[in-house]
Structure 1
Amino acid sequence: MTTSPSFADLTTIGVGGRIARFEQPTSRVGIIEAVEDADGKGVPLCVIGGGSNMLVADADFDGIVVRDARQEIVVLDEAAPVEGGDTTVHISADAGTNWDDLVAFSIQIGLEGIEGLSGIPGTVGASVVQNIGAYGQEVATSVFAVEVWDRESKVVRTLSSEDMGFGYRTSALKRSMYASAGNVAGQRNPFFPTPRYVVLSVSFALRHSDTGVVAFDQLARALRVDIG
């Protein structure tokens, strides 16, 4: 019999109680089925990414923890620059993709837009829930669309950047875990501790460029360049 890991095994801070059941699906259908299984049984569901933004109690978690094992990145447009035309390129990544792997991939093929977010731990799916940011960039500025599983309506939806309601280190997804707009931990809704919308994949609109744009004074000084 396989023993489920504890949250201490899955989080970067290394604390947290034992988990009743742990699932790591390798397909899109598998992710949806795991979420539906938890919701159908009425047990707590916790969908995690890299475990880098979690401080978990030592008490046992009597529910299902799901971690997306998919890591595919796809270029949706022509990767080569279009002469005299739009330099935008759309790429899509599974929610389980390591965030820094996506940044490295985009830089490798000459795309600009998320390079300032290199080094942030976690996954692509978690990046849009938290609206990660650093050095004058936020993921919100490059998100084109987010494919999610709607746990209430039980359908796959595609949310635009506007639908995501991004704010400073927050989004409509993050806010959907709580009963009030204030994100008060004691005011939870039935979806807690996972949003109503579970991220399946994210597509980004990036741009061809030989260089990135430095928009943060401290970073500009470190690189000895001018802002912009």
Structure 2
Amino acid sequence: MTTFAELTTIGVGGPIARFIEPTTRVGVIEAIEEADAKGLPLCVIGGGSNMLVSDAPFPGVVVRDARRAITVPDEAAPVEGGDRTVHVNAEAGCNWDDFVAFTVEMGLEGVEGLSGIPGTVGASVVQNIGAYGQEVGSSVESVEVWDRKDKRTVELTPDDLRFGYRSSALKSSMYVAPATPAAEFFPTPRYVVLSVTFALRHSATGTVGYGQLAKALGVEVGDRMETRAIRNAVLKVRASKGMLEDAARYLNPAMEGTKR
């Protein structure tokens, strides 16, 4: 039986009654729908970071999206009128740092400062992760979600998502008031992320937007540097603070295959 201790970065948490890893979009929706229809507690989990779980048995369903594809819809389209925007779509189960590495290798600017943050693409927009002068919400074009209440897929825009400091409409849908869970949905939002489309910029350089990062790179805040250099500097700074997750956790059978 799978336990939360095997799935979370903190390494604590009790046994799970049913653990499902759907490999298709339909499979994700069906797993959520089945749990909701049966009135079972539902926990949709990403990389298991920022989760402190009781050691008591969890009597419901834990769903971890096993879809990790990244696609570039604009890849075949030529740049027109000087617009350097490139759209990149990632499925919710994609490891976040895998996504950042992919965009940097593609020569795209927009999320390089968010390197090394644990978790998944789906969780990134729920939390509106941010670091070193960037927030994920600034690069989001749209988010496809499953609406557990209306039982349909919805395409949400940044206006719909109401991004704030480490918050979003997705996250707030779990609460009736600050720190007060909504019995109907908690611990999973009303809107479950299926995929995210990002609007990034075709550029080999990015802006150094944070003092500590600028110091590590030997430049001034606002200077532009190669995105690869920014990513490497972010990873080094995070490592010096003990803010990188233990890579050995991916040797755990329960985590195998979740990161490239």
Interval containing the TM-score (normalised by the shorter chain): over 0.9
Aligned to 2:21: 24
Shift of 1:189: 2.8
Offset from partner CA, 1:153-189 (integer Å, 9 cap, x none): 0000000011101111011000000112x2x24x423
CA distance, structure 2, for counterparts of residue 29 and residue 217 of structure 1: 44
Residue matched to 1:227: 221
**Distance (whole Å) between structure 2 residues aligned to residue 202 and residue 53 of structure 1:** 21
Partner deviation per Cα, 1:31-51 (whole Å, 9 max, x = no partner)? 000000000000100000000
Match of 2:117 among 105, 114, 120: 120
Give the match's secondary structure for 2:62.
Answer: strand
Q: Please, what TM-score do these two structures have when normalized by structure 1?
A: 0.94
Alpha-carbon distance between aligned partners in 2 of 1:80 and 1:100, rounded to the nearest angstrom: 26
Report deviation, 1:76.
Answer: 1.2
1:41-60 mapped onto 2 (5 Å cutoff) = 41-60=38-57
Residue 210 (1) aligns with residue 204 (2): yes
* Structure 1 residue 195 corresponds to structure 2 residue 195: no
1:65 pairs with 2:59: no
CA 1:80–1:135: 2 relative to 1, 3 Å: farther
Aligned Cα root-mean-square deviation (Å): 1.2
Q: Report the counterpart of residue 4 of structure 2 in structure 1.
A: 7
Aligned partner of residue 129 in structure 1, secondary structure: helix
SS in 1 for 2:195: strand
Correspondence 1:125-144 to 2 at 5 A: 125-144=122-141
CA distance in 1, matches of 2:78, 2:107: 9
Q: How far apart are the structure 2 equivalents of 1:170 and 1:200? A: 18
The whole-number CA distance in structure 2 between the counterparts of 1:84 and 1:46 is 45
SS in 2 for 1:193: coil
Offset of residue 78 of structure 1: 3.1
Q: Could you say which residue in structure 2 is the equivalent of 1:173?
A: 170
Question: Alpha-carbon deviations, 1:49-90, whole Å to 9, x = none?
Answer: 000110101111100000000010000113687265100000
What secondary structure is seen at the aligned counterpart in 1 of 2:205?
Answer: coil
Poorly superposed stretches of 4+, deviation over 4 Å: none
The structure 2 residue matched to 1:150, chosen from 144, 147, 151, is: 147
8 Å CA contact 1:79–1:109 kept in 2: the answer is no
Counterpart CA distance in 2 for 1:51 and 1:68 is 12
In the alignment, the residues of structure 2 paired with residue 68 and residue 53 of structure 1 have an alpha-carbon distance, to the nearest angstrom, of 18
Specify the SS of the correspondent of 1:207: strand
% identical equivalent positions: 69
Unaligned runs of 5+ in 2: 223-260
Measured after TM superposition, the shift of residue 106 of structure 1 is 0.5
Q: Give the Å deviation of 1:145.
A: 0.2
Partner Cα distance (1:23, 1:125) in 2: 16
1:109 matched residue in structure 2:
106
Q: Deviations over 1:108-138 (max 9, x none)?
A: 1110000000000000000000000000100
